[in-house]
Amino acid sequence: MNTGNQTADVATETPLHLERTTLEGKNKILGVWLFIGAETVLFACLFGTYLTLRNQTMGGPTGQELFSLPLIALATFILLTSSLTSVLGVVSMHQNDLRGLQLWFGITLLLGASFLGLEIYEFIHYTSLGHRFTQSAFASSFYTLTGTHGAHVLFGLCWILGLLIQSRKRGITKETAPRFYVASLYWHFIDVIWVFIFTVVYLMGAAG
Amino acid sequence: MATFLIITTLVLLLAAIFTGGYNKKFLERVQKSWIWGWITTVDHKRIGILYIVASGFFFILGGVESILIRLQLIWPGNEFITGDAYNQLLTMHGTTMIFFVAMPLLIGLMNYIVPLQIGARDVAFPFANALSFWLFLSGAILMNLSFLFGGAPDAGWTSYTPLALNEYSPGPGVDYYVLGLQIAGIGTILGGVNFITTIVNMRAPGMTFLRLPLFTWTTFVTSAIILFALPPLAVNLLLLQFDRLFGAQFFSTAGGGDSVVWQHLFWIFGHPEVYLVILPAFGMISEVVSTFSRKRLFGYTSMVFATVVIGFLSFMVWVHHMFTVGLGSMANTIFAIATMLIAIPTGVKVFNWLFTMWGGRLRFTTAMLFAVGFIPTFVIGGVTGVMVATVPADYQFHDTYFLVAHFHYTLVGGTVLAALAALYYWWPKIFGKKLDEKLGKWHFWTFVPSFHITFFPQHFLGLYGMPRRVFTFDSTPILNNLNLISTIGVIGMTVGTVAFLYNVVITTIRGKSVSGDPWDGFTLEWTVSSPPPAYNFAQLPLVRGREAFLHEKLLGNKKMKAAEPLGAIHMPSSSYLPLIMAIGLFMSGYGFVLRGFELAALGLIILFIGMYMRSFDYDPGYHISTEEIKQIEKGLKA
């Protein structure tokens, strides 16, 4: 309980899991796991809504006509790779390697941003084909599901960017380590959601 | 946007007048004032009190709304409040009582009591705790502003589509409902995360899970319900917001949408919600009954098990609100059976309370009276619950006053009576003074019988076919008499409530300070002074048995054994950011209601700036030194 007696010299003998050395750190990690639990339910509801309404295209383009799998596969590849780089960032953190941490989380940031760019391009492309948000229940539920995921990616990018700025001043400490760790947890969660979107929306949609 | 600027200028002007204008000493003066202390607090005890006070305020609002409803229904063809005004009243009464009275009252008591019961110095996330409160308050205020600006929501507390769509509910009413609940709901989810983390990570040494007091256990399960039940509401509100504001087609049949989606998502949230407000009540009753019977709780482990089972089953029964939708007899049967299963763990609880009292040395304090009044009242609500879970019969009960009677027996007869018992029980701990027992008995003997006079006849109103949510009824002798009786009952409930409020005022002014343990309690919150110091425990207690304090008392010890040497205590700094972030979301919500999207965006920007400021803030908190603790402890009588 007492967090005041953390006297171990962090620079010379870093514990293996720096993020769990304080009660605050442990709380943060459990808290984010619970938050991810709530987010899972949130996405489950959006998936349920989409699955109910996906055939209600009301004369607009269907998923089969819209979805181009090569582009989506590229986006999937980029996002899954960003999950890997965030793991490498946490590994660097455990080795007390600040440069490595900044490098790998920086790459995560770039990959996330390019995923978001692809998604924005995709949306613009769809609207030009007449697949608009207000067109049909299918369109509304498609944009809400993928858009909510995209908003989560954007939020994650801002989060990691903020942490990278902090790391320049503070390095790897028992205060910053849990923050990077939970940001990476959140990032994995976003990737897992995308795997489901890829399967349920795009693969099932393209299959008709 | 223009309105917003005018209001901002006005608020700043008023602030300047009341604070004496801006000069060099301004900030110093503000930071020393007691108001600043309360609005920047991150202390779980102060936040608990804020929750309780806020819920009291909204209880009066919701209560007045219910009085107006009953006055309209006093006789047939009454023209007191009709049509849309009546719809607004019944919508706001329901929404207010559930979201802004029951939940904050329970969460307030959890906030105050749970850290004390598990031997912790605060919750896991004190900052997020403050944020939860301010979000709840801004959501509640936003929704109630609707009365002044544009008309209140009028589509019922369930806000079913297509009724709640623009086509049938024009005007901003339902938008206030959507945005107000969304903001308050975000705060509640954060609270759920906070309580679970606190209970898992911050129990005192020796406080194993099967030594947790029952109130803490029910808080734990309730928090899990919050965590998984509130997101469906958030999604549902988001979809309705998109339909109403941005022309999405989720619920309108013309665009391929499906109204039943709303109903499913609403009840996937809505049914766990009613267990969310009853489980903490079960926990309170367990504490009160056990303390005033001077006996350990009978069947502790079965109580814990029953709590967990109820929490689990609460997610498995939502379709029983939708029997008449036409989902088919297979779906209806499965959900009917699941619903009836809940009667088993609930029955376990009722018998455990009775066996706790059996052979105990009963003390009929006001708290105990309310707890004992709770048991038969809640059982009636439970029995009618099994009745409405019977599918063929439900076709008759659905949307009638039978339903209204049923859920008032569970929510008032269950949650409110338990919360009142808990307030009388924990009031000395929270405010350091016992509520007056004589006035308390007046409160009980007016409130509870009148409750039955008000709501018992409504069962029969329903059986005679009177629909709920309709502002008038045909003149027939049975309906006339029963409605008149029901309205007369409200008088007694009002008198009881006024007696309670008078009691609160009188106690605050004239009440005598009490010791830390006025009821001869069993659990850890009674080992510290009333009210406890900011750090709760000078030394964390070592827990050596279930009912930790009773265990020590039976061994002849007056105090808990300490689990750590006396040392400096680390405290979190107070912060104004939670309030700023809540104001940001409030502005954003109001912007969406007014369709002023610049204002909505500005509010969100304020929220994100607040989050960034919080992320960049490495405030280490402060320490209370050993000498200061010794000084404080000397001044307290434990």
Cα-based distances in Å from B395 to B50, B161, B344, B403, B617: 43, 21, 24, 12, 58
The radius of gyration of chain B from alpha carbons, rounded to an integer in Å, stands at: 25
Query: ipTM of the predicted structure?
Result: 0.94
Interval B497-522: pLDDT, tens: 999 999 999 999 999 999 999 999 99
B474 sits in the region (left: phi over 0; alpha: psi -120 to 50; else beta) called beta
- In the predicted model, is pLDDT for residue A1 greater than 70? no
Confidence tier at B18 by pLDDT (50, 70, 90): confident
Confidence tier at B91 by pLDDT (50, 70, 90): very high
Report which DSSP code applies to A200: I
The neighbouring-strand residues paired with B623 are: B570
How large is the average pLDDT for residues A106-122? 97
**AA identity, residue B107:** I
B121 plus B12 within the same structural domain? no
In a domain? residue B103:
yes
CB-based contact (8 Å) between B237 and chain A?
A: no
CB A144 within 8 A of CB B238: yes
Confidence tier at A204 by pLDDT (50, 70, 90): very high
B371 plus B426 within the same structural domain? yes
In a domain? residue B581:
no
Name all domains of chain A by residue range, CATH numbers in brackets: 19-207 (1.20.120.80)
The answer to whether A162 contacts B615, with C-beta atoms less than 8 Å apart, is: yes
Residue from the list A1, A41, A46 with its beta carbon closest to the beta carbon of B540: A1
CB-based contact (8 Å) between B125 and chain A?
A: yes
Of the candidates A133, A104, A122, A115, the one whose C-alpha atom is nearest the C-alpha of residue A193 is A115
B125 plus B4 within the same structural domain? no
pLDDT of residue B11: 84
The answer to whether A52 contacts B232, with C-beta atoms less than 8 Å apart, is: no
Interval B530-582: pLDDT, tens: 999 999 999 999 999 999 999 999 999 999 999 999 999 999 999 999 999 99
pLDDT of residue B1: 64
- Indicate the number of domains in chain B: 2
Determine the Cα–Cα distance for residues B385 and B343; give it in Å rounded to an integer.
9
B6 plus B152 within the same structural domain? no
CB-based contact (8 Å) between B615 and chain A?
A: yes
Confidence tier at A9 by pLDDT (50, 70, 90): very low
- In the predicted model, is pLDDT for residue A8 greater than 90? no
CATH number, position B374: 1.20.210.10
- In the predicted model, is pLDDT for residue A11 greater than 70? no
CB-based contact (8 Å) between A64 and chain B?
A: no
Interval B22-81: pLDDT, tens: 676 777 777 778 888 999 999 999 999 999 999 999 999 999 999 999 999 999 999 999
HSE-up of residue B409 (Cα within 13 Å, Cβ side): 24
B19 plus B137 within the same structural domain? no
In a domain? residue B425:
yes
In a domain? residue B599:
no
Degrees, nearest 5: CA angle B132-B136-B141 = 150
Determine the Cα–Cα distance for residues B118 and B205; give it in Å rounded to an integer.
9
B437 plus B502 within the same structural domain? yes
Cα dihedral across residues B161, B166, B170, B173: positive or negative: positive
B506, two tokens: 């009188």
Please give the sequence-ordered ranges of beta strands (E in DSSP) within B84-164, or none if there are none: none
- In the predicted model, is pLDDT for residue B604 greater than 50? yes
How large is the average pLDDT for residues B576-601? 95
How large is the average pLDDT for residues B431-451? 96
Q: Which domain holds residue B25?
A: 1-32
All residues of chain A having their beta carbon less than 8 Å from the beta carbon of residue B125 are 27, 31
All residues of chain B having their beta carbon less than 8 Å from the beta carbon of residue A30 are 124, 196-197, 200-201
In a domain? residue B480:
yes
Q: Say how many C-beta atoms besides its own lie within 10 A of residue B468's C-beta.
A: 17
CB B385 within 8 A of CB B406: yes
B123 plus B248 within the same structural domain? yes
CB B617 within 8 A of CB B574: no
In a domain? residue B551:
yes
CB-based contact (8 Å) between B234 and chain A?
A: yes
- In the predicted model, is pLDDT for residue A14 greater than 60? no
A171, two tokens: 């390095």
Asked, as a colleague might, if the bond just before B467 is cis with ω within 30 of 0, I would say no
Interval B218-259: pLDDT, tens: 999 999 999 999 999 999 999 999 999 999 999 999 999 999
Determine the Cα–Cα distance for residues B363 and B384; give it in Å rounded to an integer.
31
Determine the Cα–Cα distance for residues A169 and B618; give it in Å rounded to an integer.
12
Determine the Cα–Cα distance for residues A180 and B50; give it in Å rounded to an integer.
34
In a domain? residue B5:
yes
B181, two tokens: 């609940």
Confidence tier at A4 by pLDDT (50, 70, 90): very low
B291 plus B261 within the same structural domain? yes
B377 plus B464 within the same structural domain? yes
In a domain? residue B84:
yes
Confidence tier at A2 by pLDDT (50, 70, 90): very low
Determine the Cα–Cα distance for residues B117 and B211; give it in Å rounded to an integer.
10
Please give the sequence-ordered ranges of beta strands (E in DSSP) within B478-556, or none if there are none: 541-542
B2 plus B75 within the same structural domain? no
Helix (H, G, I), strand (E, B) or coil at A202: helix
Phi, psi of B88 (to 5 degrees): -60, -45
Determine the Cα–Cα distance for residues A136 and A146; give it in Å rounded to an integer.
16
B101 plus B5 within the same structural domain? no
How large is the average pLDDT for residues B603-623? 92
Determine the Cα–Cα distance for residues B315 and B163; give it in Å rounded to an integer.
26
B374 plus B384 within the same structural domain? yes
pLDDT of residue B34: 85
B423, two tokens: 């307030």
